[in-house]
Structure 1
């Protein structure tokens, strides 16, 4: 489509140029301009640049112009051509196949190298997590790889191929970049030509529905089991696995197990503790380490002060969490007092004075306040028992434990 300038009561065509005529190079000019404003060729899809000239694979000497990531954790292959776009879709498909198995840690490493190359000191993993709005936990990149082809023009055989591939379920987009020179300035008219904007919403909706179904299936396969941890008479209920392992590590340290022994018990995990000199609080600890450490438990009550040093334990754990827990428990003296059965379904739940008191089918009692668990639960249960005139003692004059008192409090609230 031609570009016109309004001149009085007429339209004056602005002659289209080529990047070659304007002396603009593919990598040094076009690619670097696009990488700083990737949204120009990815309209409607939040996208970040992971790497430039990416080629970290064995047996190939070609490189992806720009390797990107979109908001749905899908890798995006961006190929740019200054003029001739022939066969670029075939090249991009090869690249997409090569990176389709990329793991999150590999993406972090690729982004780290890219940031280093442009002189940035930003933490690569944190930048990706902030972009994906997933500050904690494991990140799984989508198996779907998107492709964006950007050039000044596309031959018919390429557009026919792209349309057919999109019909097969792939996501390829063709973005036309046509330069114009006006008063010594270079203006680039950027238009997405495949899929056409008028049809894109429908096509994307169909594709997103398929992706959501696949994502839902993957979510059902993930182990989201929670656990009730009992240590002697104390019980912590409904713990996710990463909190479960923290509490078990805390108990191991209380019973004299060294941090080195704990780290040695899970050699596959890597750095599970970070530390600094002194008995530090959260703020002092973060200052000592140069900033916040979102992947570690650094709250005041979660830090460990041992032998003149302060330690924080890792938050991020994957599929081998239960194996790690088993290995750590083997280090703990008198570990037979520790158990962590899976949390069972809710048998009863009541609310009193802003607190939610919940009893699981296995008898475990949970207390929540404003959506956050209250641990230990016993002080609140005692307070509620006094409000409800519920005795803290059983028929033999012995104090009720958490499960017994919780059941009595729930019963009294039900009676009201």
Structure 2
């Protein structure tokens, strides 16, 4: 990371969480409130639990549900030393916690065991009204699953996310092997930086490894493009973001964006952010406020008002047209 002063660039060296006097609980709290730091804009996520105790008195750091109905376990370690000094491996600890969630079949059970206690603990963050924590949890979780069309897929699979400022080779090797055997486990490296009195986090996804072809579609533009190979499946990681869509001209600054299923509107800006009540913010931040979720699938829930199409559909149609035009050449 570099600090630019005029035409000069000076390198900003990373610091450690211990140097910042931050403990694991601090990082956990930051991720609980900003889980989109380690989420993709192509997914929605609802945090439903923190420090949930299982039958063997083990405690999982954060628990969430994603837009596919999967229960997501997020395990956090401050640094590499914390990982290496544990009796039990980082990844195996997370697997045990995930296994304890695999038996949950109904949303009501997850709410009773996990989400309702979480709401009760942080009740000042929720508009509870006259509802009990359990009633509100059932309502919010079922609405989240319904809106994301994942009610029938609730907890059919479990995902694991490991987050730390550094990882040891054994953990990365084990996770890579698990990935190759269809276990959905990710590793995110969180590097802190301090500039003056401000603290910045840089997050990097280490695993699963991104294939070089995953960058392919991001390089498309109107003038220089190539057909997408028919045997190449377009994955979430390869999908272009709003800045590329603005370059393509499929959306433009000044367009009105509507939150899907809501009346809330925002104006798209040239930098990809939106203007809401004279305040500029990222589209993700705006949608999180509208839906009250921890992370929102930006391109599905942001609807282009003029065409009535979600941004994901506009993007797919443009990409399909590009592929067809190139195929015909």
TM-score (norm 1): 0.45
Is the contact made by 2:68 and 2:150 (CA closer than 8 Å) also made in structure 1? Answer: no
Pairs within 5 Å for 1:63-142: 63-84=59-80, 85-86=83-84, 87-103=89-105, 104-109=107-112, 110-119=114-123, 120=126, 121=128, 123-133=136-146, 141-142=154-155
Is the contact made by 1:78 and 1:149 (CA closer than 8 Å) also made in structure 2? Answer: yes
How far apart are 1:160 and its partner, in Å? Answer: 1.0
Is the contact made by 2:79 and 2:165 (CA closer than 8 Å) also made in structure 1? Answer: yes
The 2-side partners of 1:21 and 1:175 are apart by 20
Moved over 6 A (4+): 135-138
- 1:188 aligns with 201
Is the contact made by 1:92 and 1:147 (CA closer than 8 Å) also made in structure 2? Answer: yes
SS in structure 2 at match of 1:82: coil
* Compared CA separation, residues 48 and 26, structure 1 to 2 (3 A): same
- 1:50 aligns with 48
The 2-side partners of 1:138 and 1:45 are apart by 16
How far apart are 1:135 and its partner, in Å? Answer: 10
| RMSD of aligned alpha carbons | 2.6
How far apart are 1:142 and its partner, in Å? Answer: 2.8
Gaps of at least 5 residues in structure 2 are 215-231, 237-329
The 2-side partners of 1:137 and 1:158 are apart by 32
The 1-side partners of 2:90 and 2:143 are apart by 32
Query: Which has the bigger relative contact order, CA under 8 A and spacing at least 6?
Result: 2
Pairs within 5 Å for 1:215-254: none
2:190 to 166, 177, 198: 177
- Would you say 1:30 and 2:27 are equivalent positions? yes
The 1-side partners of 2:152 and 2:36 are apart by 23
Q: Deviation string for 1:179-218 (max 9, x for gaps)?
A: 0111111101111111234469579959xxxxxxxxxxxx
The 1-side partners of 2:17 and 2:212 are apart by 30
Q: Deviation string for 1:367-402 (max 9, x for gaps)?
A: xxxxxxxxxxxxxxxxxxxxxxxxxxxxxxxxxxxx
- 1:149 aligns with 162
Aligned length: 201
Structure showing greater radius of gyration is 1
* Compared CA separation, residues 138 and 40, structure 1 to 2 (3 A): closer
TM-score (norm 2): 0.56
The 1-side partners of 2:19 and 2:150 are apart by 50
